[in-house]
Amino acid sequence: MLIIKNGTILTFNKDDEVIKNGAIVTEGDNILAIGKSVDLTEKYPEAEVIDAKGGLVIPGLINSHMHFYSTFARGMDLKTDKPPENFIEILEKLWWRVDETLSNKDDLYYSAIYPILEGIEYGTTTIFDHHASFGMIENSLDILAEAVEDAGIRASLCFEASDRNGEEKSEASIQENIRFIESLTEDQKDYLTGKFGLHASFTLEDSSLKRIGEEAARLGVPCHLHVAEGKADVEDSKKRGYSGVVERLDKFNILQPGTLAIHGVHLSQEEFSVLANRNNYLIHNPQSNMGNAVGAADLLAADKSGLRIGLGTDGYTTDMFESLKVASVLPSHETGDPNAGGGIVRDMLFDINGKLAGQYFDKELGVLKEGAGADIVVINYSGPTPVNSDNYYFHLLMGVSGAKVDTTIARGKVLMKNQEVKVLDAERIKAKCREQAEDFWKRF
> Is the pTM here over 0.85, yes or no?
yes
Rounded Cα distance between 105 and 103, Å, is: 7
- Domain annotation covers residue 274: yes
- Domain annotation covers residue 432: no
- Domain annotation covers residue 216: yes
- Domain annotation covers residue 119: yes
pLDDT digits (tens, 9 = 90+) for 173-211: 999 999 999 999 999 999 999 999 999 999 999 999 999
Mean per-residue pLDDT, 394-402: 97
What is the CATH number for 401? 2.30.40.10
Report the pLDDT value the prediction gives residue 362, as an integer from 0 to 100: 87
Q: Both 370 and 349 in a single domain?
A: no
Rounded Cα distance between 279 and 291, Å, is: 29
Mean pLDDT of the chain: 97
Residue 404, SS3 per DSSP: helix
Q: Both 54 and 106 in a single domain?
A: no
Q: What percent of the chain has pLDDT over 70?
A: 100
| pLDDT band per the 50, 70, 90 thresholds, residue 318 | very high
How many helices (DSSP H) and strands (DSSP E) are in the chain?
17, 18
- Domain annotation covers residue 306: yes
Q: Both 30 and 77 in a single domain?
A: no
Report the phi/psi class of residue 419: left, alpha or beta, with left for phi > 0 and alpha for psi in -120 to 50. left
Pairing between strand 56-59 and 2-10? parallel
DSSP states along 171-234: HHHHHHHHHHHHH--GGGTTTEEE-EEEEEGGGS-HHHHHHHHHHHHHHT--EEEEESSSHHHH
Do 11 and 354 meet the contact criterion of CB atoms below 8 Å apart? no
Q: Please count the structural domains in the chain.
A: 2
Q: Both 309 and 380 in a single domain?
A: no
Q: Is the pLDDT of residue 224 over 90?
A: yes
The boundaries of the domain holding residue 393 are 2-59+365-421
**Cα–chain center distance at 67:** 9
* N-term to C-term CA, the chain: 48
Rounded Cα distance between 90 and 77, Å, is: 13
Residue 129, SS3 per DSSP: strand
Q: Both 282 and 376 in a single domain?
A: no
Q: Both 29 and 99 in a single domain?
A: no
**Phi, psi at residue 392, to the nearest 5°?**
-60, -35
Rounded Cα distance between 57 and 60, Å, is: 9
Could you say which DSSP state residue 60 is in? Answer: P
Q: Both 23 and 81 in a single domain?
A: no
pLDDT digits (tens, 9 = 90+) for 329-382: 999 999 999 999 889 999 999 999 999 999 999 899 999 999 999 999 999 999
Q: Both 174 and 303 in a single domain?
A: yes
| pLDDT band per the 50, 70, 90 thresholds, residue 2 | very high
Rounded Cα distance between 104 and 88, Å, is: 26
Q: Is the pLDDT of residue 86 over 90?
A: yes
pLDDT digits (tens, 9 = 90+) for 245-273: 999 999 999 999 999 999 999 999 999 99
Do 158 and 137 meet the contact criterion of CB atoms below 8 Å apart? no
Q: Both 274 and 405 in a single domain?
A: no
Do 227 and 261 meet the contact criterion of CB atoms below 8 Å apart? yes
Q: Both 350 and 369 in a single domain?
A: no
Rounded Cα distance between 232 and 183, Å, is: 35
CA angle, residues 241, 242, 243, in degrees to nearest 5: 125
Rounded Cα distance between 32 and 147, Å, is: 28
Q: Which residues of 404-442 are buried (b: 16+ CB within 10 A; e: fewer)?
A: bbbbbbbbbbbbbeeeebebbebeebeebbeebbeebee
Q: Both 38 and 171 in a single domain?
A: no
Determine whether 75 is exposed, middle or buried from the number of CB atoms within 10 Å of its CB (0-12, 13-18, 19+): exposed
- Domain annotation covers residue 80: yes
Rounded Cα distance between 299 and 309, Å, is: 8
Q: Both 73 and 140 in a single domain?
A: yes
What is the CATH number for 138? 3.20.20.140
Cβ neighbors of 90 (< 8 A, separation 6 or more) are 84, 292
- Domain annotation covers residue 49: yes
| pLDDT band per the 50, 70, 90 thresholds, residue 391 | very high
Q: Is the pLDDT of residue 119 over 90?
A: yes
Q: Is the pLDDT of residue 10 over 90?
A: yes
- Domain annotation covers residue 433: no
Q: Is the pLDDT of residue 88 over 90?
A: yes
Report the pLDDT value the prediction gives residue 118, as an integer from 0 to 100: 97
| pLDDT band per the 50, 70, 90 thresholds, residue 230 | very high
